[in-house]
Structure formats: structure tokens, C-alpha cells
Structure 1
């Protein structure tokens, strides 16, 4: 039988930024954010810090760093190392989605460790292909029930940790964080990777591919870049106010930070069932049944939305 995590209550805040401000200067803080109160589509926020181990991978170069110790370099497939470092699972909690474990990200180029792909892109971003922190505790805010919890592994001293957190005075932490000069953030003008003329030419080539039957939809993306000074956490706080999104996250790293804001669930796994919730090819629900049926009929008759739905189902499958 799996051991059960320890759980105790914490003060609930409508905005989890209060709790993040408490953790901002702790080791390796992370924040999985539902965008509340600006977004009402998400339910839970998960925040953690002080992982017992950090895993950083670039290709098959994997650095394993236990807390307070120098890193150990290993040449191994990254996912093999992840499986090795994952702690024994705890019993799931009925109303709390995270009972400690790994939080981090799997980068796009990690695919090169899973299959043979052509090397065409320059490695011009310093962030690793994979970073994970293995956390023995987390703060979970439930915006549906307006409750907050501290969840730890059974061997953790949960009362001492709770006292440490409350000693940070979360009611005042956010205001203090915003007032600190070192936490300001400035950015210069963004520069596009492609000129307008180049972008239009590429669109013309895409139309040729579609007419030739080589594809039915292409996402023409480009990078925008800029220089910045200051604390990326301040940038995330500003972005989540401007574009509150239910699937957001902030992970500060030694070489930069990962900031993510998305209205779409990529994938969730529950009892061996996978769920994904893209918003492509969708329309908002209407409170009036007749208007709702009209929206559904318009979607069904739209060639553009049909193409988007075919594309996203293929992609996610």
C-alpha cells in the first residue's frame, strides 16, 4: 500500500502571487498558475521550492544535483534518468491534484534524444533541453473551494515548514516584492525574425503547398526577441495580469527563465485516459439555447474550422 502524503491548511489568497512572493528568493521556486483571479477557467495553482534534486539535461549530458551538493554528470538518455530519480508514488488525494513529485519542462529539442531528426537549427538559446526539480512539498491553492493546502511527503516536518512559510507574512510579501528595486523589469523593443515581405513570401509558398495537396494547414511561426534587465518574475506578474490564462507557469533557471501563458490544456492523464483541450476550431458557448445551436451550426459549416479541427486532432494524436 502506498504511503499517504501529509496535508495541512494554509491561508487562502484569491491571487497566488502572494504565495509566490514568499518563495521568490528560495531555491528553485516554481509556479504552475491558473491565472486566477483574471481567468476563471482554471481551478488549482501549485507552488513549490527547495527541491531535493535538480536534473538539467542538454542532449544526453545529464547533470544531477542533490540539494547542497555539487552536480554529478551522467551520459544517459534523459528519460531514463527521470525514471530513476522519480520518488516512490504516494496515495493520490481526492481534492488535491499534486502530492509532491517532479515539476519542470521538457524542451522541444528533447525530441532528438527520442528519435533521429535532422540537425538544421542553431543552438542559440542557452536554456537546457530538460529541467526538472523533484519537490518534497508544495502549496496547492484551490480556487473553486477557496482553500489552500501544504502537501508534503510523509517524512517531512510539515508543521516546521508551515511555520517557515507563515513567518514570511504572505499578506505583505507581494507588496514588498513589488517595491524592491532589484525586482524591477525593463525590456527594449521586440524585433521580428522575419520582415513583412519575407513573411508574405512564405505565406505564398504555403498556399502553393496547399494547392498541390502536400498539406492542408501550416502554422507559420517566427521568433520575436528583445534584451531585458531585471527580474523575470516581475515580467510574469505583468503578463498574467495582461493575459490571464488557465495553463500558465513560471520556472526561473540559472540561464534565464521559462514563462508560459496558454488557454489550452495540452494533455492530462487520469486513470489511463488522456485528455486534451485545444481551442482551435471552437466557439464560445452561449447562455441562450438558440444562439448556442447557431454557433454549433456555424462551426459545422465552416471550412476553415473543419481544417483546424483535422489539423489539431492529427497533431495531438
Structure 2
């Protein structure tokens, strides 16, 4: 788990884009500038934009054809802008109500509204806010690949690498299934069984995103960009001794080291395209 958790609702503005001639990234940039948040607290987030960017937005950066079949019709970009947030600091066991507004009267109204909503939930009783484990039917997952199709796709990737067209590919499968759980119940189960420092539940009007990751993709603070890719994993051991053995096994794995070096090199290259020449460093690798 990470140190902080953030909860917010009722965005005052929503950005949603799908297959538009307008560049969504430029629109987002303008809106972020318009609603720029000055955070003079010790909290990492006090309000602002929360959402997601799809892989397909890469077409607005690189001049590439759209070859993917759009069979789920998700927006390319979805963001909500929030003028308040509940911040939970798990380390010191404190909870804060934060807002980036400099308008004191508006800030007081926001805080009062949040307090009234909390009191309303309290009146419903403790059962309305406590986790309740449900007995549900296991989800039957179905891949968008057959086994033979996936094997053929792997062979195609290997051939592209041999021909020099690419040197790496992210070949993924999408699994789908039906469940009796709500999206948020599913997210809480995900966090309970597989806690990770980077997770999010985005409850948009026509799309729900459940995200859970052990790695930081990218962070930008004071014009300093940081990424911490992860390649290669091992399960946790039964005890500390087995943990150390698995840790050493991972460190000695040539395959995992090669994969890590490849992704680090790739991200160095990408960050280098928008950074000052010679400023990209790898202070720690393993």
C-alpha cells in the first residue's frame, strides 16, 4: 500500500474525448493551465484533474495509422476536475479535507458540504460504510485470443524483430467476464487480495476504471521527471529465508535483467526526447 489515499466526487468539469479532430492532449494542457493548482501544503494532492489517457492517444503524438479494432468503444481520454479531496495519511493515521480554492467563502461551502454528506452516511448506520464480503460465483474469464491465435501473434512479433522492424512489442490479451459484484466491490476485493502502491477506482458516468499496479509509470515534480519500471517478478516466500533466496534468484536471472535493461533504455530514450540534453540519469538500476 502507498502512504496516501485520496477520495473525491462531483467534478466541476469533465473532459471526454473519442476520435476527434481536435487534439485532446492540447485541450487537457489548456485546461490544466486554466485550473492550475498551487499546493502549499505537505500533502501530495489537494485537488485538480484525475483521469486516464489511453494508448491510442499516441496517434496524436506520432504520425501512425490506427490499426486497432475498436470493439469496446472506450473514450481515448477521460478526466474529472475536482475542487476538493479527502486525503488519508496511512502513516500517521490522519485524514484531511483539502481544497485548492483561494476563495475562502467557497472553500468553507465545500468543506461544509463534505461534512454534511459524511454525517448523512453515518446516520444510515455502520453497515452502510463497512466492507461486507459476499458469496459470489467465480468469474469465468474469456480471452480475446484463442491459444492458436496467440501463438501465431508471438511468431509474428519474433519475425518483426528478426527483420529489424521492431526490437520490442507489448503483446497483451484482454480478458472479459461477468460478475455479480459492483465495480467498486470488485475494486475493493482487488485491493484486499493484491495490495499495491498505485491503484485507482474511477467512477465516470459511462466508464469505470479499476487500476492496480506495483510500479510508478511516471511522475513530474518541479520539472523533474521520474519513472520506475519493473521487469521480472518472483512470488513471496513462506519465510524471510525463502524471500532472500527468491530475491537472489531474481537478481541473478539473465532473462529478467535483460528485460529490465531494455525497458530502462526505452524509457531513457522517451524521456530524453523532452528533457535537457545530458540530464537523463539512472541513479539506481536494481
TM-score by length of 2: 0.75
Q: 1:238 aligns with which of 162, 184, 189?
A: 189
1:116 and 1:184, CA in 2 relative to 1: closer, same or farther beyond 3 A? Answer: farther
Q: 2:113 aligns with which of 143, 161, 175?
A: 161
How far does the alpha carbon of each residue in 1:141-171 deviate from its partner, in whole angstroms, 9 at most, with x for none? 1111111110112322254134224313459
The equivalent of 2:209 in structure 1 is 258
The equivalent of 1:270 in structure 2 is 221
The structure richer in helix per residue is 2
**2:35–2:48 Cα contact (<8 Å) kept:** no
1:285 and 1:174, CA in 2 relative to 1: closer, same or farther beyond 3 A? Answer: same
Q: State the shift of 1:215 in Å.
A: 5.4
The equivalent of 1:190 in structure 2 is 141
Q: Where in structure 2 are the equivalents of 1:1-317 lying within 5 Å?
A: 39=1, 42-60=2-20, 76-86=22-32, 87-152=34-99, 153-155=101-103, 156-157=107-108, 158-169=110-121, 175-176=127-128, 188-208=139-159, 217-228=168-179, 231-281=182-232, 295=247, 299=251, 301-316=252-267, 317=270
**1:46–1:138 Cα contact (<8 Å) kept:** yes
Q: Which runs of 5+ in 2 are unaligned?
A: 271-286
Q: State the shift of 1:304 in Å.
A: 0.5
Q: Report the number of matched residues.
A: 259
1:269 and 1:294, CA in 2 relative to 1: closer, same or farther beyond 3 A? Answer: same
Q: State the shift of 1:234 in Å.
A: 1.6
1:207 and 1:117, CA in 2 relative to 1: closer, same or farther beyond 3 A? Answer: closer
| Cα distance in 2 for residues equivalent to 1:227 and 1:164 | 36
| Cα distance in 2 for residues equivalent to 1:315 and 1:214 | 16
The equivalent of 2:273 in structure 1 is none
| Cα distance in 1 for residues equivalent to 2:139 and 2:31 | 40
The structure richer in strand per residue is 1
Shifted more, 225-234 versus 256-265: the winner is 225-234
How far does the alpha carbon of each residue in 1:5-27 deviate from its partner, in whole angstroms, 9 at most, with x for none? xxxxxxxxxxxxxxxxxxxxxxx
1:226 and 1:315, CA in 2 relative to 1: closer, same or farther beyond 3 A? Answer: farther
Q: State the shift of 1:120 in Å.
A: 1.4
How far does the alpha carbon of each residue in 1:171-191 deviate from its partner, in whole angstroms, 9 at most, with x for none? 9777326799xx998775211
| Cα distance in 2 for residues equivalent to 1:186 and 1:154 | 50
Please give the secondary structure, in 1, of the residue aligned with 2:102: coil
Please give the secondary structure, in 1, of the residue aligned with 2:57: helix
Q: State the shift of 1:267 in Å.
A: 0.7
1:184 and 1:230, CA in 2 relative to 1: closer, same or farther beyond 3 A? Answer: farther
Q: Which runs of 5+ in 1 are unaligned?
A: 1-38, 61-74
How far does the alpha carbon of each residue in 1:260-300 deviate from its partner, in whole angstroms, 9 at most, with x for none? 111111111122211112221477999x9xx979956962x
| Cα distance in 2 for residues equivalent to 1:59 and 1:172 | 43
Please give the secondary structure, in 1, of the residue aligned with 2:230: coil
Shifted more, 170-179 versus 82-91: the winner is 170-179
TM-score by length of 1: 0.68
| Cα distance in 2 for residues equivalent to 1:53 and 1:230 | 29
Higher relative contact order (CA 8 A, sep 6+): 1
